[in-house]
Amino acid sequence: MNLKIAVLAGDGIGPEISRQGVAVVSAVCNKFGHSVVFKNAICGADAIDKVGDPFPEETFNICKESDAVLFSAVGNPKYDNDPSAKVRPEQGLLAMRKKLGLFANIRPVQTFKSLLHLSPLRADIVTGADFVCIRELTGGMYFGEKYQDDNKAYDTNLYTRAEIERILKVAFDYAMKRRRHLTVVDKANVLASSRLWRKVAQEMAPNYPEVTTDYMYVDNAAMRMIQEPRFFDVIVTENTFGDILTDEGSCISGSMGLLPSASTGTGTPVFEPIHGSWPQATGKNIANPLAQILSVAMLFEHFNLIDEGNLVRQAVNASLDANVRTPEIQVEGGAKYGTVEVGEWIVNYINNQ
């Protein structure tokens, strides 16, 4: 297979983990006889500093002309700490999702046997947790009409039937491929937009009789995710709720540095870690590259290259079992490995299979 991949390293630790992701893509493609061409592009604070736009047109064109985007992270404290800033790095992320038509964010949440002790939850609660959060990505308050003055502000949580139907179809299809259990998360007791979500879901559910469909208010879902994460198989929800719940779900595994994601829709799909740019760690060789590398596994699987994705996952699990880990997940007294060393170990593992 011939792959064209746009590489958007972004800000903070982004370039460091991006290099490891690119190295893993290259190793797997070499192993399986695929050709791959990478095209680098700027985004986030880096792009603001260079051209004044967090997602410039040239970057959009590179993404649009590629088969996939391998994205890392955006964010910089000089923008975070300035409420008056008119242009922010995160606007580039939103623009990328909107321009590429990426309406579905897919975030798997799973535990790793060797890391159960790092979860803030008891091992008997999180053992075996394995679910997927599907977040609507281009609607809701993040994109609705906004207003702010010194005395009043609002964000409009707008959804149309078509937007809800297309994300629910993604969710039902995922449930069909997994354990056939879908939980629709909303706040239908309070919000009109949620009542439309629930109405549409109830209309669509009979088309998937093999799937057990249940409905849960977002506050209850947040509590249930901590109390009984094994209850869930596939969760689908709107943009704002999904942003919050997926970050909560990351705690289950013990580190945000372990969880990848995919954003799909009508344009070029994007594969990225769920964590941010962690600017305080920039250049220190301590950032965990595993979420970026597992995003590579999702990239291969998106193109139905299942063996390739499985090899990446096998390599990641082997690195954890061998205690080749960055500091935040290293066992007490274990050898110290940095971003580069973990990436190199995984590439060597792939090369030797």
Q: Could you give the residue numbers annotated as active site?
A: 142, 187, 219, 243, 247
3-state DSSP of the chain? CEEEEEEEEECCCHHHHHHHHHHHHHHHHHHHCCEEEEEECCCHHHHHHHHCCCCCHHHHHHHHCCCEEEEEECCCHHHHCCCCCCCCHHHHHHHHHHHCCCCEEEEEEECCHHHHHHCCCCHHHHCCCEEEEEEECCCHHHCCCEEECCCCEEECCCCCHHHHHHHHHHHHHHHHHCCCEEEEEECCCCCHHHHHHHHHHHHHHHHCCCCEEEEEEHHHHHHHHHHCHHHCCEEEECHHHHHHHHHHHHHHHCCHHHCEEEEECCCCCEEEECCCCCHHHCCCCCCCCHHHHHHHHHHHHHCCCHHHHHHHHHHHHHHHHCCCCCHHHCCCCCCCCCHHHHHHHHHHHHHCC
- Residue 77 CA to residue 277 CA, distance in Å, equals 10
